[in-house]
Amino acid sequence: MACFLALIVFSIMGIFSATHRALALEAFQCVFRKITLRPCNTDFKEKIKGQLVGKVLGKSIFLAKLLNKHFELFSWAFSILMIISTVWVIRGGVNFYLYGSCSGLNQASFCAFDPTGENNKISTVNNGACPAVQPNEKNLTLQKVNLDTFPRKNRGARNKVVFIGCYSCDYSRKAYLEFQELMAGNSADFTFVHYPVKNVTKPLSALAYCAYQRNQNTFWSLNEALFKAPKERLSDPAFIDGLVSGFGFNLDKMHQCTASKETWDIVDRQMAEIQKTNFYGTPTIFINGSALVGPKPSRVYERLLSD
């Protein structure tokens, strides 16, 4: 087992050092002999043992004696730990590729491949209120959720996507724009839900509803422009008016629509309806029934979109 451990260690160190490449070769020969049921080269084993014991001896005579006496046992222990850690790293790498997180889909635990946790960051909703259902990705659902009043395009396409986001949420902005680029090559039945995580963007929910009712095709261009606009300008009525009129909407009619009680009754029903999904942050994206929380890498979205 000492040969096996040495092979792994020296193979890695040999990338940077010619001396260690020679030791890696000796370790390989030793492991090969073990695999073919022949005894390892005793000189190599004693060489490794002598080097390790010598280094420990300078720190502690007691530990050096202990290592010398139980060298094979320590070799087994460290080899087992190395195998376990290697498997764990490989598992984390596979999960990161598939889900954007080392621990699996929507898991926000520390990931060495995503140390800042960007792929799982969200803007939380509920504003500190106690939710009826505790935040958990397992509780996310579209069952019994009526999406009829929300903007929708490509009806009938094989892939079904529901995007819940906020114009002022950095993570929603990132996810929405990346997802639109991906959809250029993947047709999807796409439903958009604007859920304001801040009160200053709540009027934009009414704006989105009114714009979609007046011109469904132009709405999507306006929607993308809102996600691209500077966040600090989203609460500026003059800026929003300029954006809306720039896409050909009649400002007077839009103002009447966004100010009407009928519109706000619908928006309130929309907000209540989308809360039935038990989502707890933006962005939350449902792709063919699978829920993704946070801005995932494009490969994660693409994998869930059927050809």
Asked if the peptide bond before residue 39 counts as cis, ω within 30 degrees of 0, the response is no
- CA 206 from chain centre, in angstroms, equals 30
**What confidence tens digit (pLDDT) does each residue in 76-115 have?**
565 555 566 666 667 767 766 666 666 666 666 666 666 6
Half-sphere exposure of 132 (CA within 13 A, CB side): 7
Q: In DSSP terms, which residues pair with 192 in a beta bridge?
A: 163
Q: How confident is the model at residue 37 (pLDDT cuts 50, 70, 90)?
A: low
C-alpha 154/C-alpha 305 separation (Å) is 14
Here the tokens at position 134 are 């505790």
Strands (E), 109-173: 123-124, 152-153, 159-165
User: Which residue, 182, 247, 187, is CA-closest to 212?
Assistant: 247
The topology under which CATH files domain 118-304 is Glutaredoxin (3.40.30)
For residue 219, what pLDDT is reported? 96
pLDDT band at 300 (very low <50, low <70, confident <90, very high): confident
DSSP state of 120: G
Q: Where in the chain is the domain with CATH 3.40.30.10?
A: 118-304
Percent over 70 (pLDDT), the chain: 60
SS3 160: strand
Note the pLDDT tens digit of each residue in 134-185.
Answer: 456 778 999 999 999 999 999 988 899 999 999 999 999 999 998 888 877 6
What is the enclosing helix (H) or strand (E) of 290?
Answer: strand 290-293
**Interatomic CA distance for residues 144 and 278, integer angstroms:** 12
pLDDT at 11: 44
Q: Report the C-alpha gap between 10 and 2 in whole angstroms.
A: 12
